[in-house]
Amino acid sequence: MHGPPRHAMIRNSSLILLRRTVTKPHSESARRSGARRALLSGALLLFVIIDAMKSGFPYPAVHISYRLHIRIHKDIQIVAGALGSCNFTAGDYAYTGSARRNLAARIKRHLSASKTLHWHIDYLLADPNVEIIGVDTSSTPECQWNQQLSGGIPVSGFGASDCRKRCGAHLKSLPP
């Protein structure tokens, strides 16, 4: 055949041209939204990296220290093993310790009522007027973390048999 008439071809090509000019802003906005997505995912990645760095990137922060928040409901006297007789007034206390191998098991042991009394803190927690009201953990070494906590020393040397940083005690009395 002779193919389409010439004017039809022109009309077709101008249609194509028209389609191009119409689609151009669309592809421009697609390009922009693609750039926006890239920027967003870049920002998200940066946020994730910063967050990871805050928690000890590239290794996750390992919590080795724990703190028991203790409430003594009334004035008591206990015998804490070799430390002997200790007096405690009613109030809030904090005991800071560490367990390099199994922190969860150590905390569970402190919370358990049936155990062989071994550490000073075991004797205190065995008293019916003493209650653990909260537990915290930290990646800060125990002595450093203990020294960061302001509080009094109710019994010198309490919980500090293994302390090499001169904490005085690992049990502190907290201000009311």
Nearer Cβ to Zn ion, position 63 or 76?
63
Minimum distance, C-beta of residue 43 to Zn ion, in the bound complex (Å): 43
Q: At 26, phi and psi to the nearest 5? A: -60, -50
Nearer Cβ to Zn ion, position 124 or 157?
157
Residue type, 133: I
Query: Which residue from 137, 136, 80, 132 is spatially nearest to 111, judged by alpha carbons?
Result: 132
Nearer Cβ to Zn ion, position 103 or 163?
163
Q: Which helix (H) or strand (E) holds 160?
A: none
Q: CA-to-CA distance for 17 and 59, rounded, in angstroms? A: 57
Residue type, 85: S
Query: Which residue from 127, 128, 149 is spatially nearest to 138, judged by alpha carbons?
Result: 149
Which tokens is 38 given? 């890239």
Minimum distance, C-beta of residue 122 to Zn ion, in the bound complex (Å): 18
73 sits near Zn ion (criterion: CB under 5 A): no
94 sits near Zn ion (criterion: CB under 5 A): no
Minimum distance, C-beta of residue 54 to Zn ion, in the bound complex (Å): 26
Q: CA-to-CA distance for 104 and 94, rounded, in angstroms? A: 18
Contacts (CB under 5 A) with Zn ion, residues 129-168: 143, 163, 165, 167
Minimum distance, C-beta of residue 121 to Zn ion, in the bound complex (Å): 14
Minimum distance, C-beta of residue 162 to Zn ion, in the bound complex (Å): 8
169 sits near Zn ion (criterion: CB under 5 A): no
Nearer Cβ to Zn ion, position 103 or 153?
153
| Residue 83 CB neighbours (<10 A) | 17
Nearer Cβ to Zn ion, position 132 or 163?
163
Where on the chain is the footprint of Zn ion (CB under 5 A)? 143, 163, 165, 167
